[in-house]
Amino acid sequence: MEHTRVSLHQRLLTYAFSPPSALERDFDLTADGLTDRQVRQMRRSYGANHLGPSGHPTPLQRLCRAFATPFSGILAVLALVSFFTDVYLPADYGRSVSTVLLILIMLLLSGLLRLWQDLRAGRASDALAGIIQATVTVRRDGQLRHLPPEELVVGDRVVLTAGDRVPADLRITDASDLFLSQSLLTGESAILEKNALPLPPDTPATLNQLSNLAFMGTSVLSGQGEGVVLAVGKDTVYGNYHQELQQTRDRFDQGSRSIAWVLIRFMVVLVPVVFAVCALTKGAWMTSLLFAVSVAVGLTPEMLPMVINACLARGSAAMEQKQTLVKTISAMQGFGGMDVLCVDKTGTLTGDQVVLEYYLDVLGNESRQVLEAAYLNSLFHTGVVNPLDRALLACATMPDQGAHLHTLAQTVHKLDELPFDHTRKCVSVLIQDADGRRFLLTKGDVEQVYSRCRFVEHQGERVEIDPTDASGVHLVVDEMQEDGMKVLAVACKPLPDGSCLTPESEAELTLLGYVVFFDAPKPSAAGALARLQQLNVGVKVLTGDQKSVALSVCRRLGLDVAMALTGTELEQLPPEQWSAAAEQCTLFAELTPTQKSRIIRLLQDNGHTVGFLGDGMNDLSAMSAADVGISVDTAAEALREAADVVLLKKDLNVLEQGILEGRKAFANMTKYIRITASSNLGNILSIAAASALLPFLPMTAAQLLLLNVLYDTLCMTLPWDAVDPDTCQRPLTWSGEHLSRFMRFFAPLSSLFDLVTFAFLYFVLCPGLLGGYYPELSGADQLHFALLFHTGWFLESLWSQVLIVHMLRTRHIPFFQSSPARAVWLVTLFGLAVLTALVYTPLAPLLGLAPLPPVYFVFLAGVVAGYLLLTTLAKRWYVRTYGELL
């Protein structure tokens, strides 16, 4: 049952336990409804009937939200500083807008991507709000008016008729055969009768027990009534679902912020150091400032939004082929890091198709009479047809029973019925057969039906029973219920001509027997669960079904259910034990939607990344709470819009394939971020050292920017890279702490070989080509010396940065134990060849580069090979120490 939240719904509870006169007295209401003056006063006091705290966000609010991220802040600050240093302050001949334009393009792409996501999420809210009907009938100033539901206020008198959607939370003041379905809120198919009577003091404060309240979004199935509005908009029970939809899952944003702050911390430390060292040793303050800004740009993976977008597009295309549609970038992080998957039982672990297993008499023998009575009951009652009724009606197609049942149905006709309600837990129909005899046929909960029986019938004999002694019933029923079967009792009673059907008619019945149903586990479910366990994804079953039924299904599928709790049992635990219960239990049964979301949040508080698979509106709360919401294409429209991932087939095998593809996409994103950031940090460390030791800058600002652009361009192939199978066997996390550790470990290795290159260029190659060391040369020769030096380090840095990707893309020995995708390797070789040849083209002088002799490339091959070898050895130590690489 759904426990109401006292803080939001105290007004509902107060008047549910009071007569309608108390409501009319407290709100100064009359039978004619509110006046226009009262409407304005109520709207000021209690708000308007719209969902959400302030309506829909304006376009400006969405735009600001899209660009207000830590990573975008870094790029914006760098663009501003670069504008002053590259465009505003230099003389005309020294101005360059290339850095500013590049940063602004990356900033724009990142913001547009987030804006697109926000617009998609907004449509979910629109779809959810759209279930409320276009107009409602309201009594105001003694007249019936048809108004939009947004015009309702607390105190309005609303008229309800069959087919209506309840537009707000109401206290029923008048009812005539008023039956509602609250499945939208509770997920239960029970049809509830509503009345105007105050509740007894001991009535549980649960949605299905509040028989004089009607809640926003619920459906009027039959009858008519009138109610006074007690809560509107976001203060309604349904409004709380909408509020939870507004809560965005922010694990992806948290990871992005942690990475952004890692980069910011490195910038705060290194950029001032580089600026100070350059300025103090070279004396050129403006040039040093320009170079320091280039260093900051160099530390930032400028093409991160594009690489993420490419990984998402590639991963989405691959997952679509696996019948899985990905809607948001966050879903990649959710799929990559998910280590707990919460699922409902029905339709996911089971076939979502209940079948009639047995029709038994009171001693457990097959009984055609029981089948006939149960079939006619399901055929003639007019309430919502549930899966159990459908299973009984399907008997009309059975080869051995179908013709007989079809003929039987044509010989009798229905006179009256008592619909199912939550209190009685049974449904009765009054029929008349071909001989004019009238029979009451009752079908429902075993305990409830048995308590109304005075006799049992077996092989034509009717025997009086003691209704307080249910041992005979338990002897037949208990074993089947413990095995996960659903059992309904079937009873009958002859009625005299002219009698009316009333609740009192359901007394002194004759128990005929039982109909037994079973929702069998899917044949593929056990294997899929085993494979999810191999992927280190724990499965927890969160269901509203009975505990015994859920236990049976879980046992048949091999799930460990040594500890299982119902929603009521969970509520009875001390709060300090909830976290442990969420961790230890595999099965939670008889849950309300709120309890499902509470369990998910408890798992998150325990450090888990949680996914939730649901398909009903009652799952919206749990889906909003999960790190990644998963739905199916047959789910309600609002739920599909709210989900991050939509499965085209409700099958755990499909989900398993989606998880694998999601981890591959997320792994490739992680490769780019970690390897690029560590390589860039290595360059900056080398620059800081060179700035202190060399009489000139080791590379110009434009060359540093060009190097990053060329490297990032070659990295655009990473979304298509192969991922090691063992990498996909565990959840992946996007952590700033792990990134910082990775950068600190591998960046100094790059700097070590950069220093070797500096020494070779400064003391060997350049003096050998120009006939002297730098201080001994004239001004023109010094410029040529610096030009050769810049070219040598540019090529060494490019080759080492690009090739190190292939060393660090896998924890195994590259090319021998783990090969990259063919396209990635071909693009890498082709790109390096073209960019190396660039120094021998007419474009080289424009870029500040010059041709180098063949001897340099012998050195380059040796230093790059040494760097790759040392990195491979260091990688093995890193994996042994920390247990992971990416």
Q: pLDDT tens-digit profile of 154-171?
A: 999 999 988 788 888 999
Does 869 score more than 60 pLDDT? yes
| pLDDT for residue 671 | 82
Q: Is the model more confident about 774 or about 704?
A: 774
Please, what's the b/e burial string for 363-372 (b: 16 or more CB within 10 A of its CB; e: otherwise)?
Answer: ebeebebbbb
Q: What angle do CA 555, 347, 598 make, to 5 degrees?
A: 75
Q: Has residue 867 been placed in a domain?
A: yes
Residues 641-685: tens digit of each pLDDT: 677 788 777 667 777 877 887 788 778 878 887 888 788 788 778
Q: Find, among 570, 559, 558, the residue nearest to 594 by Cα.
A: 570
| Least-confidence region, from 428-442, 461-475, 583-597, 795-809 | 461-475
Range with top average pLDDT, 96-100, 333-337, 526-530: 526-530
| pLDDT for residue 291 | 65
Which tokens in the block code for residue 697? 């800058």
347 and 375 within one domain: no
Does 613 score more than 90 pLDDT? no
- CATH number at 22 reads 2.70.150.10
Rg (CA), the chain: 36
How many helices and strands in the chain, by DSSP H and E? 31, 23
Report the 3 state secondary structure along 707-719. HHHHHHHHHHHHH
- CATH number at 855 reads 1.20.1110.10
Q: Find, among 335, 319, 259, 321, the residue nearest to 666 by Cα.
A: 335
Rounded Cα gap, residues 769 and 829, in angstroms: 29
Residues 530-572: tens digit of each pLDDT: 888 888 898 898 987 778 778 877 887 888 888 889 888 888 8
| pLDDT for residue 390 | 84
User: How many Cα atoms within 13 Å fall on the side-chain side of residue 331?
Assistant: 33
**Torsion sign over Cα 198, 200, 201, 204:** negative
Residue 324, amino acid: T
Q: Is the model more confident about 382 or about 9?
A: 382
Pairing of strands 610-613, 340-343: parallel
Rounded Cα gap, residues 464 and 304, in angstroms: 79
| pLDDT for residue 340 | 92
779 and 705 within one domain: yes
Report the 3 state secondary structure along 547-608. HHHHHHHHHHCCCCCCCEEEHHHHHHCCHHHHHHHHHHCCEEECCCHHHHHHHHHHHHHCCC
Phi-psi region of 158 (alpha: psi -120 to 50; beta: other; left: phi over 0): beta
Q: Has residue 103 been placed in a domain?
A: no
Q: Tally the domains of the chain.
A: 4
Q: Has residue 811 been placed in a domain?
A: yes
| Per-residue DSSP letter, 424 | T
Residues 303-327: tens digit of each pLDDT: 665 666 666 666 666 776 777 777 6
337 and 480 within one domain: no
| Least-confidence region, from 96-105, 176-185, 250-259, 515-524 | 250-259
Residue 344 designated active-site: yes
3-state class (DSSP) for residue 520: coil
Phi-psi region of 131 (alpha: psi -120 to 50; beta: other; left: phi over 0): alpha
776 and 848 within one domain: yes
Q: What does the pLDDT average to over 25-45?
A: 89
- The values of phi and psi at residue 190, to 5°, are -60, 140
| Catalytic pick among 164, 344, 361, 754 | 344
Distance of CA 465 to the CA centre of its chain: 54
Which tokens in the block code for residue 160? 């309800």
Q: Find, among 441, 429, 432, 376, the residue nearest to 404 by Cα.
A: 376
Rounded Cα gap, residues 759 and 750, in angstroms: 14
504 and 367 within one domain: yes
Reported as a pLDDT band with limits 50, 70 and 90, residue 299 is low
What are the Cα distances from residue 478, in Å, to 78, 472, 549, 556, 581? 72, 10, 12, 18, 28
**Torsion sign over Cα 697, 700, 701, 706:** negative
Q: What does the pLDDT average to over 82-110?
A: 62
What pTM was estimated for this model as a whole? 0.65
Q: What does the pLDDT average to over 89-103?
A: 59
Q: Is the model more confident about 806 or about 438?
A: 438
Does 346 score more than 70 pLDDT? no
Does 453 score more than 80 pLDDT? yes
748 and 640 within one domain: no
- Classify residue 471 as exposed, middle or buried by CB count within 10 Å of its CB (0-12, 13-18, 19+): exposed
User: How many Cα atoms within 13 Å fall on the side-chain side of residue 400?
Assistant: 2
Please give the sequence-ordered ranges of beta strands (E in DSSP) within 208-255, or none if there are none. 213-214, 219-231
Reported as a pLDDT band with limits 50, 70 and 90, residue 55 is very low
Rounded Cα gap, residues 114 and 334, in angstroms: 17
| Per-residue DSSP letter, 629 | E
| Least-confidence region, from 30-44, 173-187, 352-366, 860-874 | 173-187
Residue 842, amino acid: P
Percent pLDDT > 90 in the chain is 16
- Find all residues with CB under 8 Å of 458, minimum gap 6, and list them: 361, 362, 363
3-state class (DSSP) for residue 249: coil
- CATH number at 586 reads 3.40.50.1000
List Cβ<8 Å contacts ≥24 apart for 211-214: 211/423, 212/16, 212/171, 212/172, 213/12, 213/16, 213/169, 213/170, 213/171, 213/172, 214/160, 214/166, 214/169, 214/170, 214/172, 214/180
Reported as a pLDDT band with limits 50, 70 and 90, residue 778 is confident
Rounded Cα gap, residues 851 and 784, in angstroms: 11
Q: Has residue 826 been placed in a domain?
A: yes
Rounded Cα gap, residues 765 and 326, in angstroms: 54
3-state class (DSSP) for residue 203: coil
699 and 761 within one domain: yes
Domain extent for 706: 262-323+658-882
- The values of phi and psi at residue 490, to 5°, are -125, 130
Please give the sequence-ordered ranges of beta strands (E in DSSP) within 798-856, or none if there are none. none
| pLDDT for residue 382 | 77
Does 610 score more than 60 pLDDT? yes
For 381-534, where are the alpha helices, taking DSSP H only? 387-393, 402-411, 446-451, 471-482, 525-534
Which tokens in the block code for residue 246? 């507004």
Say if residues 191 and 384 touch (Cβ distance below 8 Å).
yes
Q: Which of 476, 493, 515 is the last residue of a domain?
A: 515
| Per-residue DSSP letter, 647 | E
828 and 769 within one domain: yes
| pLDDT for residue 99 | 61
User: How many Cα atoms within 13 Å fall on the side-chain side of residue 315?
Assistant: 33
Please, what's the b/e burial string for 222-248 (b: 16 or more CB within 10 A of its CB; e: otherwise)?
Answer: bbebbbbbbbbbbbbbbbbbbbbbbee
Rounded Cα gap, residues 772 and 781, in angstroms: 9
Rounded Cα gap, residues 886 and 869, in angstroms: 19
Q: Has residue 108 been placed in a domain?
A: no
Q: Has residue 248 been placed in a domain?
A: no
| Per-residue DSSP letter, 500 | P
Q: Which of 220, 237, 254 is the last residue of a domain?
A: 237
| Per-residue DSSP letter, 649 | S
| pLDDT for residue 287 | 65
Q: Which of 595, 624, 648 is the last residue of a domain?
A: 648
| pLDDT for residue 406 | 85
Which tokens in the block code for residue 255? 């990871």
Q: Is the model more confident about 442 or about 703?
A: 442
Rounded Cα gap, residues 79 and 99, in angstroms: 8
Does 2 score more than 90 pLDDT? no
- CATH number at 380 reads 3.40.1110.10
| pLDDT for residue 53 | 46
723 and 863 within one domain: yes
Does 821 score more than 80 pLDDT? no
Does 436 score more than 80 pLDDT? yes
29 and 163 within one domain: yes
| Least-confidence region, from 285-289, 356-360, 687-691, 798-802 | 285-289
β-pair partners for 461: 458
Q: Has residue 340 been placed in a domain?
A: yes
**Torsion sign over Cα 686, 688, 692, 697:** positive
| pLDDT for residue 283 | 65
Reported as a pLDDT band with limits 50, 70 and 90, residue 599 is very high
| pLDDT for residue 771 | 87
Which tokens in the block code for residue 773? 């060391």
Q: Is the model more confident about 2 or about 352?
A: 352
- Find all residues with CB under 8 Å of 76, minimum gap 6, and list them: 107
Range with top average pLDDT, 261-265, 446-450, 467-471, 882-886: 446-450
Tokens 């990707």: give the residue: 805
663 and 625 within one domain: no
Q: Has residue 488 been placed in a domain?
A: yes
- The values of phi and psi at residue 486, to 5°, are -100, 125
Reported as a pLDDT band with limits 50, 70 and 90, residue 9 is low
| pLDDT for residue 57 | 55
Q: Is the model more confident about 285 or about 339?
A: 339
Say if residues 529 and 539 touch (Cβ distance below 8 Å).
yes
Arithmetic mean of pLDDT over the chain: 79
| pLDDT for residue 307 | 65
Which tokens in the block code for residue 556? 């048949």
Does 127 score more than 50 pLDDT? no
Reported as a pLDDT band with limits 50, 70 and 90, residue 5 is very low
| pLDDT for residue 6 | 38
Rounded Cα gap, residues 499 and 521, in angstroms: 46
368 and 382 within one domain: yes
Rounded Cα gap, residues 122 and 91, in angstroms: 48
